[in-house]
Amino acid sequence: MKKILSLVLTFTMLFSTVSSFATTNNVDLQKTNLKSGFQNVENDKNGKIIKASSEIGKAFYWYEVTENYIYSIGVYDNNFVDIAYKDLKTNEVFSDVIDIGNSPKYLKLSTKMNKIEKIKDEIAKGKLKLKTIDIEKTFKKNSVQLMSSSEEDKIMDVLYDEGWPEAYSNYLRDSKTYNGAYAELRHNLSYNIRERDSITIAAGATLSVIVLYYTWPSQLWAQISSVALTGKGVYEAIKSFVISDYDVLSYGNKYVYVEDEYQYQAGRTVKWRAIVADLGATLDFQYDNHHHDYFDNEGLLDTGLDNYFN
C-alpha cells in the first residue's frame, strides 16, 4: 500500500548569498518541532505507531494495531461513531457510521475510550457487522507525475513557517585568524523532495477510513484537505482529492578553509515525511543526523586550523 515509487522527484534550490539578505535569512536552525499531532502515542520496537489518539471538533479518534486487527474509531458527542477496521488475516477493510444514542450498553459507558473498547470487543467477537470497503476504489493509486510547483510551495511554506530558511550556498558563517592564518567557515543548505506515493481519495470516504489508511491524526485532514463535517454527523471527504506522500530532506554542510585551502567539513541531514492535499501540507519529523561538532562553529574552525598547521 505504501510502496515507495521508483521514480525519484528531486529539486535542489541553491543560490549565492549576498550582504543584508544573508544576515536575516541564512539562519542555522538547530531544532525542528514539526510533528504529526497524534497524542498518547505508543510505538513498536521499529518505531511504527501501534496506538494513538487525536481529536477533531467534538470527536475523539483512536487508532490501534492488534494481532488480528487495525482499528480506527471516532466517537462524537452526538453519539455517532465512525468505525473502520482492517482484518489482518484476510486484508479486508470494513467501515460504517453507527448511532449509539439509543443503545443502553453504550450509553452506560462514561467515556469515549470506554465506548471504543466496547466496540473493539464486539468486532473481535463478531457481534458488530460493518460494510466491506473497496479499498482500490476508495484510494485509487495514481501514476507518477512531476511534482507541481504548488505542491512544492505547500511543503516549503510549512518549513519556512517553522523558521527554516531558503536554500543558500557558500555563506560565511564564521571566521578567525590564528598565527597569521585566516580561516573561514562556509555553510551550504539545500532541500530535496522525493515522492513516495500519490492517491486519489474518493468523495464520501469517512475520516476513520482515511486515518486507517494513512495513519495521520484526524485534525490534520480538515486542515489540509476537503474533509469536513457533513450532514451525516461525521467528518468525511466532501469531494474527491489527491493526496501525495513525500520524503523531504534538508542537507547542511559546513566547510572550513584556511588560506583558501579546504581543511575540514561537517554535515547534517534532517528528514520529514510530508503529506500534500488539495488545501495544504503537513510534515512529520523523522530524524536529524549530524556530525557531533556540526553546531560548534568555533570548534570547526579550530579543527580546520589544526589540520592546516599539522
Q: Is the pTM of this model over 0.75?
A: yes
Q: What pLDDT score does 25 carry?
A: 59
- Tell how far CA 151 is from the center of its chain: 14
d(CA 256, CA 248): 27
Residue with cell 467515556: 111
- Are 64 and 51 in contact by the 8 Å Cβ rule? The answer is yes
Rounded average pLDDT over 210-218: 90
Mean pLDDT of 172-189: 97
CA separation for the pair 97, 75 (Å, rounded)? 10
Whether 205 shows a pLDDT value over 90: the answer reads yes
> Helix, strand, or coil here: 153?
helix
Break the chain into its structural domains and give their ranges: 1-27+135-202+240-310, 38-133
Residue 73 contacts residue 122 (beta carbons within 8 Å): no
Chain position carrying cell 580561516: 183
Contact 115, 82 (CB under 8 A): no
Residue 177: predicted pLDDT: 97
- Share of residues in the chain with pLDDT > 70 (%): 89
Contact between 168 and 189 under an 8 Å Cβ cutoff? The reply is yes
Tell me the per-residue pLDDT of 133-167, one tens digit each, with 9 for 90 and over. Answer: 999 999 999 986 667 888 999 999 999 999 999 99
Separation of alpha carbons 195 and 8, rounded Å = 6
Asked whether the predicted pLDDT for residue 131 surpasses 50, the reply is yes
Give Cα separations from 142 to 5, 151, 197, 199, 223 (angstroms): 11, 15, 8, 5, 23
The reported pLDDT for the residue numbered 101 is: 86
Q: What is the mean pLDDT of residues 252-265?
A: 98
Length of the chain: 310
Alpha-carbon gap, residue 302 to 231, rounded angstroms: 66
Mean pLDDT of 300-308: 98
- Whether the per-residue pLDDT at 48 is higher than 90: the answer is no
3-state helix, strand, coil in the chain (%, to 5): 25, 45, 35
Amino acid type, 250: S
